[in-house]
Structure 1
Amino acid sequence: MSIKIATWNINSVRLRQGLVQRLLSEQAPDVLCLQECKCPEDKFPYEAFAEMGWSHAIVRGEKGYNGVAILSRLPLEPVPHRDVLDRGDTRHVAARLPNGVTIHNFYIPAGGDIPDRETNPKFGHKLDFLSDLTGWFAAHKPRKSILVGDLNIAPREDDVWSHKQLLKIISHTPVETSMLADLMAAGDWVDVTRQDIPEGKLYSWWSYRARDWDAADKGRRLDHVWATADLAPAMGGSEILRGARGWEQPSDHAPVMARIDL
């Protein structure tokens, strides 16, 4: 059984419903995980996607912020979500596929602009979020699982346009990359994208601030597909759909895709 999985920070699913439909039509992933949907569950455009064949959906949403969803052409069995730090944020949703694989979809906090938890509570929230997840996965070792989402950290030197210039910029600071490594180790996770594409610059996010994002190419790889070590050998076909960043009224993130063969 071969299943194609995509993850995408859509930056408002209602505003960019047409882009989601385009992705579904052109790329036909069996499962699409969305982050930053920015709408409550009762406002999510279920019917539009169901009419295209993605009739199974598990959504957690809130008005104007956060929000995560799993759309699927295959049946989904709900799995209890994690309310990280007990804040009520809709940053995690999970489901089990018919082949027994559990998918975790996360939207990790961005962390604001200043990498100092004393002066920037948003950065402290991000670090605490990572610490909480690390403890959770250490205590509840995942098996036969995939973790996807906007993790808001570019861990490797070649995951950013300039390692030296971004060392003090949130998403690539040493404390964040170290904590992400701890999180990976706690869950025995494997970075599937880098398993498939081990060398070279690789980005999934380009700022809206750049006048010509493509020419400037000052990107970061913030969006990830991981698998537990028992599942990673069955994963492949990784791709970042850079072209989607150039679609009309785009998200600042590009979809990341992979395939699992079981």
Structure 2
Amino acid sequence: MVSIATWNINSVRLRMPIVERFIKEQSPDVLCLQEIKCQEHQFPYEAFRSLGYEHFAVHGQKGYHGVATVAKTPLREFSRHDWQDNGEARHVGVELTEHQGMIVENVYVPAGGDEPDREVNLKFGQKLDFLERMTRWADAIDRPTLIVGDFNIAPLESDVWNHKQLLKVVSHTPIEVESLQRFMDAHGWADIGREHIKAPERYYSWWSYRAKDWKANDRGRRLDHMWASEDLAKQALRHSVHEYARDWEKPSDHVPLVTEFAL
């Protein structure tokens, strides 16, 4: 058995108290964090070691972005891809050396700005290009692989609070959904979340800080994902969404997802 969690933490140093709370409650074997917002030497290694996490793959940068995978089980860093093509720290891949060599790819896809038009919004074009590079990479995968993280796209109608209102809002536009589908098709990924929480059941992982009462408004989106190679997906026993973490003190605007595998 191995349990793997993913969480856009929106500054790991600022939110270490809730990371510690989550770890004590759920104790995943592997925790993939996005948007750590620190350089590698600033990462809170000792805090994680005190919680039993001795193994690290940290790809950070000053003040923005950054991803980190921490684990109780041995790992080796496997890859760092610059799918943004500008040096931003948005990916790290690891091999779980004691779990049949399972590959875990941790990615933070760009948000894409506010205007869904690459001609007037450079960031939106960068997001689409990022997805295209990921798609070319996925076409060549030849090992059991799990890719997790903040994809910044809610593809299904039941992944957003209002499909019609969000069709022209970045993260749910048809062109983004189509780009993400091409990425899925390139490797035949299984969407673990939707394998276990069937559409059209409501499934969100993000709620804006702008809402005064996130639960009352419940204007959520499923921006965070866990996708597996076909054979690996068959070994996924349970998948859970930890919405209650959005209510913790100084929360991230995202909540953790956890999948348990029988390898």
**Structure 1 segments of 4+ aligned residues over 2 angstroms from their partners:** none
- Equivalent AA in structure 2 for residue 127 of structure 1: L
1:242 aligns with 243
Cα distance in 1, alignment partners of residues 237 and 226 from structure 2: 11
In structure 1, the partner of 2:144 is: 144
Match of 1:226 in 2: 227
Once residues 83 and 150 of structure 1 are traced to their aligned partners in structure 2, the CA distance between those partners, rounded to angstroms, is 16
Name the counterpart of 1:187.
187
Q: Percent identity?
A: 53
Equivalences for residues 39-118 of structure 1 within 5 A:
39-97=38-96, 98-99=98-99, 100-118=101-119
Consecutive unaligned residues in structure 2, runs of 5 or more: none
The 2-side partners of 1:136 and 1:101 are apart by: 17
Whether the 8 Å contact between 1:142 and 1:187 is mirrored in structure 2 is: no
Alpha-carbon distance in 2 for matches of 1:261, 1:167: 38
Unaligned residue ranges in structure 1 (runs of 5+):
none
The RMSD of aligned alpha carbons is: 0.8
Which amino acid in 1 is paired with 2:5?
Answer: A
**TM-score with structure 1 length normalisation?**
0.98
Cα offset, 1:85, TM superposition: 4.0
Residue 15 of structure 2: aligned partner: 16
Q: Deviations over 1:31-53 (max 9, x none)?
A: 00000000000000001111110
Contact 1:154 1:177 in 2 (8 A): yes
What residue is the counterpart of 1:252 in the other structure? Answer: 253
Secondary structure, counterpart of 1:254 in structure 2: coil
> Which residue is 2:166 aligned to?
166
The alignment partner of 1:231 has SS state of helix
Length-normalised TM-score, structure 2: 0.97
SS of 1:194's equivalent in the other structure is helix
Letter in 2 for 1:70: T
Residues 98-154 of structure 1: per-residue CA shift (max 9 Å, x gap): 21100000000000101010111010010010011111211x224211000000000
